Structure 1
């Protein structure tokens, strides 16, 4: 543990974010400015553009003896080292570097030296007070050596969300670690000097390896960039289609969700997948894919959250004075606690359509690639939002000066299905919908992208059906 000061930092950060969102929820939409709002056409909550750095830091975290039989994670190497920072930048960097070890070893400080350890890949997210996020891509492995030793974590900190690409980078890091630490840094320097590719494009990194010569490593960014931040297969493997839909219903109403699993990789993959189901909206509240043991009482937070906890901490979680939560056991594929109305939130007809679509995926699972699974699952949930709120642009009223206001009552009244209208009336009160509409009110340019494309396709299809009927 990096000290009580770090815990206080996280507590205060969560309180400040919650307070700011409460203010924004009640503020006039055309005046409220939220840094965490996204353009309606964008998939990822991590803001970036082609050409920027792949990463900010590579840090190596190892366990160091603290007292008695306890150990604490410490950064033993940082690349690059930052100099000439302003005071505020230095303070922000110090907070970041304090937090990283805690999330690289979230499973406490009760470790013993090991002779065997299967390397594990996972990720965490650090959310700043302004709503911006950084991802830590981690590979925990046992360093080469003889006799019992501790695992170490190679952690790449980046504001870019592309898990498949960074997993390949960590593969290269691990391969070089088996040779020498010294071989890693030229590779990372080459990566840092290369621009992040545009969707569908490839960057080639030259890297010299002793006894092998110069290697050319190709890193390709997926063409479907709105799907690069997620892997839905893990979620489908751990939860039934029915449970995924009831979980989605809770998340879309911004409730408190706790995920439990044995493996760090399962926690991070599944929580990222659930957050991605919200596209074109984004989760705007506390979001900790892997909660460090010392921050378990995060589950007592009265505001919405999505957090992941290792199963060995389940008893600690159950002992906390929690408010209503959905507690999801990814190991057993079931809910340990629920509010009780999860099955009644989504419109029945649309829920049946989504269930059929997800079950169709399950029956074809053996012949689908990862990209096909991502596209199929994503489209299932995109269509849900297309059919429930896709008509939002028709209720944005623009004046001559280019300002807009959203006509919420007319928007809800335009929905002919009673069950859909009932759901939408609850959904429009969420923070994610409010932020989405705030951004749409600012500029017509933001009403572009994949979601709007699907809305247009759906509306054209309905017009065609009416003409043929």
Structure 2
């Protein structure tokens, strides 16, 4: 998941808290209970969780799941998952290094159900069992045993090698339902340029789902910058503003126009096909994520052609070789992408695995194997065909001039032959 994600957290979650709503309009939220009771990072409980549990006066009229992202002292992301019910005076929140949105939202639903009972409303047994459980590996099933069958919680550890699916992945599902194809492509183009992006919405769940849903479509790259809540866009200067309620993007940049036209055409075609499928069926699977994955294959799938293995030295990435391995129509755009933190981290992760002798064969490289040769062939054919057309015009023009010259010579010879009886 990139340098911002902790590879081996010690616990499945760091802390759970039930937070009380501020009692005054400009008041401060407060923690009613938490587990574990003692934690090393006091700042999370005293400042961060209360602030993010009630970020504004928002009441959706239904159960609202939303999230926030913190950055620890090592630059690693911590994810806060929140549940607020309509009319409730409290918000349930759990913080983890693991971006398991669906799992933690389900857990919060269970905890809310337990707390709302008149008897046996203690959430500690579930939290304690989960906190003491080892962090499972990808695909491993976890079942928390309890003397109370109503407090049973089971889940399967997410497979990080799989693409997010609709409707199983709620972030991508809500993002896809909120914005149209053009807006989704515009946000993607802005993220590839690592712009400062402000997403606004009247609904917290839609707001945070659009943030994480859009970021998931950058795979195999990952958003490397911090997430900051802002209230006044005027303070941000040249920020890209995304209105998730109205599916609009306001920007002074033309990032989508800068994106190579062949990638835009590919992406638009596949996303429109997904829209057509959406009309006919409510299940889309990984089609949307795969459309963006293939766009990323077209853009950066040639990175392997730029890997160099000098004898007795560590593996290196040749930037110039990478740029020149791609069609000329993509090269100006890739010169910019080359120096983004996302791409640099992607290359560093690949090199680290190769140097460690691990190798890699994730879904991105599988798509590279399937699509890259075809893409490169088509792109180079178009480039070659364009060059040949230009050369052909030049040859035809030169040929015509030479034919005129040849014809005049022939005419001259025939004139001479008639004169000298050759």
User: What is the TM-score of this pair, normalised by structure 1?
Assistant: 0.72
Q: Secondary structure at the match of 1:231?
A: helix
More strand by share: 1
Q: Secondary structure at the match of 1:55?
A: coil
1:219 aligned residue? 155
Q: 1:422/1:465 Cα in 2 relative to 1: closer, same or farther (>3 Å)?
A: closer
5+ residue gaps, structure 2, are 380-422
Q: Which moved more, 1:343-352 or 1:193-202?
A: 193-202
2: CA distance between counterparts of 1:465 and 1:345?
20
Question: What is the Cα-based RMSD across aligned positions, in Å?
Answer: 2.9
Measure how far apart 1:118 and its partner are. 2.6
Measure how far apart 1:77 and its partner are. 1.1
Q: Answer whether contact 2:67 2:208 (CA < 8 A) is retained.
A: yes
Q: Answer whether contact 1:48 1:160 (CA < 8 A) is retained.
A: no
Runs of 4+ in 1 over 6 A off after TM superposition: 462-466
Q: Secondary structure at the match of 1:435?
A: helix
2:113 aligned residue (145, 164, 175): 175
- Alignment partner of 1:457 is 2:370: yes
1: CA distance between counterparts of 2:52 and 2:177?
25
- Alignment partner of 1:197 is 2:136: yes
1:81 aligned residue? 37
1: CA distance between counterparts of 2:341 and 2:375?
30
Q: Answer whether contact 1:59 1:156 (CA < 8 A) is retained.
A: yes
2: CA distance between counterparts of 1:405 and 1:464?
26
- Alignment partner of 1:243 is 2:193: no
- Alignment partner of 1:400 is 2:311: yes
Cα deviation code 1:246-300 (max 9, x no counterpart): 1110110011111110011111111001111111111111223xx2xxxx3xxxx
Q: 1:153/1:266 Cα in 2 relative to 1: closer, same or farther (>3 Å)?
A: same
Equivalences for 1:285-364 in 2 at 5 Å? 285-288=225-228, 291=229, 296=230, 317-318=232-233, 320-335=234-249, 337-364=250-277
Q: Answer whether contact 2:190 2:256 (CA < 8 A) is retained.
A: no
Equivalences for 1:63-212 in 2 at 5 Å? 63-65=21-23, 70-82=26-38, 90=40, 93-97=41-45, 98-107=47-56, 118-141=62-85, 151-180=89-118, 182-209=121-148
2:290 aligned residue (379, 387, 397): 379
1: CA distance between counterparts of 2:151 and 2:49?
31
Cα deviation code 1:190-245 (max 9, x no counterpart): 22233343333321123344xxx555432123446544676312112111101111
Cα deviation code 1:413-440 (max 9, x no counterpart): 1212x32112111111212112222333
5+ residue gaps, structure 1, are 1-35, 39-44, 84-89, 143-148, 297-312
